[in-house]
Each structure stands twice: as structure tokens, then as C-alpha cells.
Structure 1
């Protein structure tokens, strides 16, 4: 099994899962894809970052003291975790703003403790023009299900059995489809196996890049 320092596959924010963003206009295609939770801002809400540097966070007042706009917004800078408004330091700067039922001066206002999941309308700066765009945000999650033994654990979209022992039996159920990203995989060949979609993986060859769908079950067993 895996030995040494556990790999960093667990979110730094317990209970907050990575998210997938879909939709967007072609000019903002860089905002599509997987965002990982990084930390919490002064408002207590998590902020997220994509591998290309794009960010998603809640700003209680992204215009600073001039206006009172509070939105989830996409940006290109990491937000301050201590400031209480204008978290990127540039008043009114954004790639996209979350919509709500209330507007001020024609701009959307509103935000909850987490980003608006599901499909909602955002005001997105597409090529210099604010455009109403349907954006879909979903959490990536997998959970333990059934009767399980051993060190199996789940946090957000990461599942593992670090430093596993004898006679483990675990079932992980996928609730959001996606592609598996193997952080570390090292089992006893012949006997300790992870099964995904009817295919068994053992030794140091894990299910990297394998696509799973909502409802799929992944099983782990050791002798």
C-alpha cells in the first residue's frame, strides 16, 4: 500500500468539494473546467482556483466603497483573504458576475455561502461586452456506500485507503461523473485490487484517465 506522507489530494477546506464549470461564451472558455477550493476569504466563503490561474470567489462589494454590489465572480487574480470588499484590489473588475433576482443599476446582485450550483444566468464580459450567459456549476463528489472495512476515506472528490491493511472491502459510489485523476497508486499485485467499470487495477497501474458516470460504483479489496 501507500507509505510515507499522504498525497495532497484532500481539500484544504473540509466539506468543500472541487467544482466543474460549464457554459461560458467562447471568449471566456478559460473559465470552463475544474476549480479546486483553496481557502476561505474574510466573509467565511471558500474561493476556488483553476490550473490556468482563473479564480472564483464571493466579493461582498467588488466596487469597494463606491457601490454595494455583492456577487460571486470569476476573475484572473487571487482574492485577498483579509479584505472585506474589493477583494482583487481593482474596483469593478471581473470576468463574470453571478445573477440574482435583485439588480442595482442594471447589474446583478447576490450570493450565497457557496457558488450557485446548477444552471444559472451570469453577466459575463465576452470580448469587452457584458453578456447574459447560462453557466452550469456542479460539485465533484464520491461517497462511501454500503458496508466498508479498513481505512477507506472520502473527502470531496478524493477517495483513498492510505497505508491500507489486511482484508479491506470498500465501495465508493460516484455522484458526479468525470475523469479519474490518480494521485498515488501502489498495491500488492495479484491480491489487492481496485475495480472500476469491471476492470481491475493492481500494482502501480491505476485507473488514470478513466471516465466514470453518476451512479457508478468503484470497489476496493485487499487480502
Structure 2
């Protein structure tokens, strides 16, 4: 019972942390602007870079990524101090589902209670999860995002290729000699679902790309 209540509390905390609209408050505090009225009007990292420039865009990314990582790190901490149990047995294999607390934060980031359920597109917060569980895949996805955006000027393409990179590199990480794909199957499935969700959140962007009306992005400040 105590374990269940603790996990319920973690779910609530994860959602509330995920709901913090970092791009919004950073714009208001440091620049006196409402990011929801500029660029693509999204409060996520890509529009933060587009509207506020690289410095505040990076700050937005770091804080949004922390949303996904923090609940998982908190679970690891509580497992050491409170005997928190976060494993489930499937087909005679025990899987750690700590990643799900990070997913709750991603849901909060995407549908934040503090901003009328209008949030980011799940990219930065998902990157936080990936960085905490598979660091090489996390670093690779950031590098791919930067490269694709620098070349194409389209954040949606950067996010798409970064998400695909996560899946490919994480499979490689889990295929290392001291690891097993089957032992990490739960994480792989959650990664796949997260990637599909990111694609879903970018459907309108894909339509604009096809029509040639997608907003371009540079790493220079373009406050209107």
C-alpha cells in the first residue's frame, strides 16, 4: 500500500513538473514577451530558439529535458532510500518501468495544466528521458537535430531525424556484449511509442512541409 501511494505521488509530481511552461516564463521574465504570440506560437524549444535566440532556446531545452529526466532520477533515488519497487514481470522476465514516470512528465509537457493543456511537441522532454537511460542515444539525437536544422532550417525535420536516431542508436546500445535486447525490451517499446507520438505531434508540420509553407528556423534571435 505504501509503495502504491508513493508511486501515485510520483505520478502527480511528474505531471506537474512536466506542466511547467519553461519557454513561456523565460520569454516573459528575460525578454518581456509572450512566446505564444510569436513564431509558431508553441512554447517548446524550437520556437524558443526561433523567437528568443540560441541562449534562451538552450535554456528552454535544458529545463524541458530536465522534466523527462527528473522523475526517473527521483525514482532511482527513492529506490535506494525507501525500498521503492518499480519492476513488473512479463513472460518470466522482470522489467523496470521507471521510464513511465518520465513519460508522465512528457504528457505534462505536451498537455500542461498551467497553460490550458497547450504545450510543446514532446521532443525536449523525451530527450531528457533518453539522456537519463541511454546517454549515447541522447547525445546522438541532439547532434542530429542540430545538423539537420542547420542544413534544412526546418525544426520539424530535425525533430523527426533526431527521434529516428534515438531508436537506432538505443538498439545498438542494447546490443552491446554485456547487454540484451530482450532484457531491455520494455524500454525499446516505450521508445517506439514515444517516437510515434512525436511524429503524431508533427503532423501539421509535415503538411506544411509538403505544401512549402513550413516555418523556417535559424539559430539567431528573431524576436518580433
- TM interval, shorter chain, is under 0.3
Q: Scaled by the length of structure 1, what TM-score is found?
A: 0.26
Q: Scaled by the length of structure 2, what TM-score is found?
A: 0.26
Report which of the two structures shows the higher radius of gyration computed on alpha carbons: 1
Which structure's relative contact order is higher, taking Cα pairs within 8 Å and 6+ residues apart?
Answer: 2
Say which structure is richer in helix. 2
